[in-house]
């Protein structure tokens, strides 16, 4: 199980939101590239980056910060947030991203997702499925669809997608534990590589996710607050 320390970028800074609310922002580092170097030095083998402004606005907004993160990280970086065209995808790869994550586009533009997988391969293109009460949310989590996360996963699997980052929005940034049951159901019903995201608060949460067989876990606030030690998490679960 791979541990992905998270760097969420808003207005060029490393932040965390509470349940995806843009007015519930905590700034943890004014320099996201420096934060990437910190995660690397603590054992990160892969870093997860989201352009929050891009996710909300539908286009890349923090590409300069992303480029600096990738340059400083020294390990592979996956990038999401506002990637909704082939030009956006190609730009992120040109910045040095190892993998791109299509979120809103995975729900609303499956043609783009299919084309991206054909062009770049399933190892370099992942889908980000974010759910509120089981239903997929898009546009920086501000709009909720009436399509379930499971329905979307089964649909995109038929397009050749192997990897899904699954986030339970109600858990994100709350430090109340991940939605292990919902994640386990996705794993069982889809057979896809699921990277769990949202709510990790302690080492026991990582153990529970490891036991159900997720391929990776994204950890954000728990690392910034010290509730989870990255070096120890990588040693035990990575």
Q: CB of 119 within 8 A of CB of 93? A: no
List 8, 63, 88, 172, catalytic entry: 8
Round to whole Å and give the CA distance between 14 and 29. 5
Per the annotation, the verdict on 130 as an active-site residue is yes
List, in sequence order, every residue forming a beta bridge with 143; answer none if it has no partner. Answer: 138
Per the annotation, the verdict on 172 as an active-site residue is no
List 53, 63, 88, 130, catalytic entry: 130
Task: Catalogue the long-range contacts made by 183-187 (C-beta closer than 8 Å, 24 or more residues apart).
Answer: 183/209, 183/212, 183/214, 184/212, 185/150, 186/149, 186/150, 186/153, 187/212, 187/213, 187/214
Q: CB of 34 within 8 A of CB of 62? A: no
- What amino acid positions are annotated as catalytic residues? 8, 130
């Amino acid at each position: 199980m791979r541990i992905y320390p998270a760097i969420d970028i808003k207005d060029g800074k490393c932040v965390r939101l509470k349940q995806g609310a843009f007015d519930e922002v905590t700034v943890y580092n004014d320099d996201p590239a420096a934060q990437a170097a910190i995660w690397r030095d603590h054992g990160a083998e892969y870093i997860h980056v989201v352009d929050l402004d891009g996710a909300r606005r539908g286009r890349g907004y923090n590409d300069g910060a992303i480029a600096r993160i990738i340059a400083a990280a020294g390990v592979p970086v996956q990038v999401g947030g506002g990637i909704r065209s082939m030009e956006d995808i190609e730009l992120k790869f040109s910045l040095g991203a190892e993998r791109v994550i299509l979120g809103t586009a995975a729900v609303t533009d499956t043609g783009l997702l299919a084309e991206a997988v054909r062009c770049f391969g399933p190892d370099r293109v992942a889908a980000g499925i974010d759910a509120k009460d089981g239903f997929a949310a898009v546009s920086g989590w501000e709009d909720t669809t009436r399509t379930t996360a499971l329905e979307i996963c089964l649909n995109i699997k038929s397009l050749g997608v192997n990897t899904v980052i699954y986030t339970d929005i109600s858990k994100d940034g709350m430090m109340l534990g991940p939605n292990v049951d919902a994640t386990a159901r996705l794993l069982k019903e889809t057979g896809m590589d699921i990277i769990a995201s949202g709510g990790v608060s302690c080492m026991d949460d990582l153990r529970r996710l490891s036991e159900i067989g997720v391929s990776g876990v994204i950890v954000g606030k728990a690392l910034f607050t010290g509730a989870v030690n990255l070096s120890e998490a990588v040693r035990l679960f990575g």
